[in-house]
Each structure stands twice: as C-alpha cells, then as structure tokens.
C-alpha cells in the first residue's frame, strides 16, 4: 500500500472543500477501495473519510418513500427498512459477511457500481432517485456500465430515495466465497407496472429486463417468465459461469421473485 494522508471531516461542506483537491479521494465504507489500495492498484495522496458526517446517515420513511443516507451501513438498512421496505432490507442483509454489512455503505456501493453488487438492482427496479451534492439523478440514468456511473468528478451521493412498491422481492444466487451475486434479480410491483432489474449477469452491469416487465404487466405469474427467452449475448461470461448459465439463472430467479410477490 502506498502512503497517503487521511482526513475525517464532520460536515459535508468541509468534505467537499477538501475534495476540490484533485489528489483527494472520498472514502465511504472502504470495502472495495481499501483492498484496491492494498493491491497497489490505486495510489491517492489523500483520502477523505465520510464516516463522521452524520447528515449522510439514516433511514427515513414518509409518504410512500424510504430515504437512505449514503453512509448508512448495510446492516442498518437491513434492520431499519424491514417494516417499510422488506425486500430492500432482505437484500441488504444478504450482502457479504457481518464485517462487510457493518462497514460497507449504500452510497459507496452505488458509486462503485460493481457489476455483481446487489444494491444497483434494487435502485433500478424501484425507480429510485439518487440525490447528490449537485442534483437528483433517476435510476435509469445513473448506471453507465461496469464500475461507471453518471456521477461527475467531485460529486458525492447524499442519499437515495426509494418509492415503496406494492410488493417486491429479491432473489440472489450467491458466489459461495464473496457473497456477491453470481446473478441477482429484483422485482418491484407498482400501480403503474412491474420493473425487473438483473445484477451479476450483464456484460455491461445491472440492467432492466424489459421483455419480462411487459409480459408480467399482462400476467404476473411465474409461468409468464418461464415462457420468455432471455438472449445470452449481452450476458457476462467468466470462470464462474457461462453466458447461457447466467441467462438461465436470471429466468429462474425472476420466476421465483414473481412467485414470492404473488403468494
């Protein structure tokens, strides 16, 4: 690991001022950044920890929405969102191991946009809004590909505002070591329709399965999904699974999620 300076401001304005320095980099939960530093794949001169900024933490529910501060750990989401958005709480409770869930944050996960991360599927399927230090970004406009988002340089996520669906469910096929999603599917049912987001499988990261959304809007049953064809060309292929395998998993997990929300 290369040497670096560490600052831990207590106010967001203070953090943004420090981050004006091009050599400074924000540090959220550190569950990706710290291993990257240890492997000497990055060498920022100055890390700015956001952990002490209280305004970036917390879970609040109001008028059909739940809003989660960017620095809220997964374990807190799993506990505090349980009564208002059970599917999101369940998702948070399946991320990594206890250490990861108590250190990792929703904002860090979304800003990193790992193609196998769980939160992007919930954000995309729920049509959430990412509120940053500069603007509000709709979920459909936020994810730009592997490890890439719509965030500009120096722009930080402040909170994520989720519309609460009528029903929702998350199904994940875990990698047994990392607990990342080999494939994960989040299905959210709203009065206006159904949204289906797939993570861990797409070659370009998380994506909406539009064909499934359209079909389920007409008949929300597991059998509807089983009859669909999900092309395997845009799927990820690696040592853990082929494109065909991930396409199969996406269909199976979507059908299970639909069965859960309709039971």
What are the pLDDT digits (tens) for 37-84? 888 888 888 999 999 999 999 999 998 999 999 999 999 999 999 999
> Domain boundaries in the chain?
5-48, 57-163, 167-262
**CA atoms of 245 and 216, how far apart (whole Å):** 22
Euclidean distance between CA atoms 177 and 183, whole angstroms: 14
* Model pLDDT, residue 225: 97
**Is residue 228 within 8 Å of residue 251, measured between CB atoms?**
yes
Tell me how many degrees the CA angle 171-172-177 measures, rounded to the nearest 5: 160
pTM as predicted: 0.95
Q: Residue 1 above 80 pLDDT?
A: no
Pairing type for strands 181-190 and 157-163 reads unpaired
Q: Which CATH number fits the domain 5-48, given the four candidates 3.30.830.10, 3.40.50.300, 3.30.43.10, 3.20.20.80?
A: 3.30.43.10
* CATH class in words for 57-163: alpha beta
Residue 124, Cβ neighbours under 10 Å: how many?
A: 25
Mean of pLDDT values over 81-105 = 96
CATH code 3.30.930.10 for 167-262: no
Question: How many other C-beta atoms lie within 10 A of the C-beta of residue 77?
Answer: 27
């Amino acid at each position: 690991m290369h040497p670096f300076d560490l600052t831990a401001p207590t106010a967001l304005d203070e953090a943004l001022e420090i981050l004006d320095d091009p050599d400074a980099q924000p540090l959220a939960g550190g569950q990706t950044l710290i291993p990257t530093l240890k492997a000497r794949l990055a060498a920022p001169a100055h890390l700015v920890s956001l952990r002490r900024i209280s305004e970036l933490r917390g879970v609040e529910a109001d008028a059909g929405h739940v809003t989660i501060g960017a620095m809220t750990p997964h374990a807190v989401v799993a506990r505090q969102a349980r009564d208002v958005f059970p599917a999101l709480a369940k998702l948070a409770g399946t991320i990594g191991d206890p250490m990861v869930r108590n250190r990792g944050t929703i904002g860090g996960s979304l800003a990193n946009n790992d193609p196998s991360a769980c939160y992007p599927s919930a954000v995309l399927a729920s049509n959430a809004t990412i509120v940053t230090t500069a603007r509000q970004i709709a979920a459909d406009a936020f994810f730009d590909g592997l490890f890439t988002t719509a965030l500009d340089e120096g722009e930080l996520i402040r909170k994520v505002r989720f519309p609460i669906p009528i029903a929702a469910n998350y199904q994940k096929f875990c990698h047994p070591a990392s607990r990342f999603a080999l494939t994960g599917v989040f299905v959210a049912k709203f009065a206006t329709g159904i949204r289906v987001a797939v993570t861990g499988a797409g070659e370009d990261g998380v994506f909406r399965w539009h064909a499934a959304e359209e079909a389920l809007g007409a008949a929300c049953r597991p059998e509807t999904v089983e009859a669909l064809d999900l092309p395997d060309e845009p799927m990820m292929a690696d040592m853990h699974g082929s494109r065909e395998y991930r396409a199969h998993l996406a269909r199976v997990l979507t059908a299970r999620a639909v069965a859960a929300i309709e039971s």
